[in-house]
Amino acid sequence: MRRPALYSSSRRTSHDPDGRDFPGEINWATPPPPQTPSRLSRWFQHASDHQFYLLWSVVGLLALMLAISLAVPLRPAARPLTQGDINAAVLKTLETTVLPSPAAKAYDAIIPSVVRVVGQGKSTKNRDGKEDAERSVGTGVVIVDKGVILTNLHVVEGAHTIKVTFSDGLESTASITSVQLENDLAVLQVHKIPDDLMAATLRSTADLAPGDRVVAVGYPFGIGPSASAGVISGLQRTFRSPEGKQQMTNLIQFDAAANPGNSGGPLVTMDGEVIGIVSAIYNPNRQRTFVGIGFAVPIENAAAAVGMPPF
């Protein structure tokens, strides 16, 4: 019986010169296994593909940028701004924009500090059974935000009760704390004040000159608050009351309309700063109407009545 052949997986078949086979040295001739690429070779292949796609991406981006630059026209360089351009813009603004007048700005600045002052006498019953009280109406200006007010003495002198009405409508009684007879001034302290009470800004009169614009704010004949604009007509004027009882000196003369009820109110600059307290008007006909000459006590003298230091 013929023996089956033995196979080895390690060596190829050997043959005897006489044609005999040697067991244990015969190897099946099998095809070699497929070669698996190494990591390094795979990396180089991947890198080559990546560089290929990257190259074409860059080419595409450059082509897109070129197309955009050809499609969009280049903007011309901006022309430098000249003084003529600026002047034209300012002129256009002035022609198309309505600006508030200087007098309106002055009024807005001072009005939170202006008050209505009423001096009331004792109530008496008339024939109809109604109670009447003698009244004098004037104006005052807050110069300290704790409720210190300057007004004219003739507005509150002899009053049984003094009532003050603030710009926001709040009413309070007040007391006279000091007077300055030579300038017809009185200092009031109110008993109740608004939470946001504003004191007026005071300004030195040292550099005032005739022709400077001013505004008088007050309650003429109890109507107001009212504003009237004018100019300073003169400085260091003297005024004697129609009855000849009092003479005041070093006054500011102005032509902004003032009437009974303006007494004690502020005379202000176009910035709304107080330069004087309106105290008198001149009328040769002894009528209680304005003829163009008003007088104000300089604020330096008026502030001295409160003990405030000079400018």
70-82: per-residue pLDDT in tens?
Answer: 665 556 667 788 8
Using one digit for the tens of pLDDT, what is the confidence trace for 209-241?
999 999 999 999 999 899 999 999 999 999 987
User: CA–CA separation, 293 vs 47, rounded Å?
Assistant: 101
Q: Work out the average pLDDT over 162-166.
A: 97
Residue 2 has pLDDT above 50, yes or no: no
- 10 Å CB burial of residue 275 (0-12, 13-18, 19+) is buried
Average pLDDT over residues 179-208: 94
- How high is the pLDDT of residue 113? 97
If pLDDT is split at 50, 70 and 90, which confidence band does 180 have?
Answer: very high
Predicted local distance difference test score (pLDDT) of residue 128: 66
Cα–Cα distance measured from residue 296 to residue 142, given in angstroms and rounded to the nearest whole number: 17
Is residue 143 predicted with pLDDT exceeding 90? Answer: yes
Residues 205, 300 contacting (CB under 8 angstroms): yes
Distance CA 276, CA 235 (A): 12
CATH of domain 107-304: 2.40.10.120
Per-residue pLDDT of 30-70, as tens digits, reads 455 555 555 545 544 555 555 666 667 767 777 777 766 66
Give the residue-averaged pLDDT of 133-139: 84
With a cut of 80, say whether residue 142 has pLDDT above it: yes
Measured between alpha carbons, how far is 147 from 287 in angstroms, rounded to an integer? 34
Q: Which residues are catalytically annotated?
A: 154, 184, 263
Domain ranges in the chain are 107-304
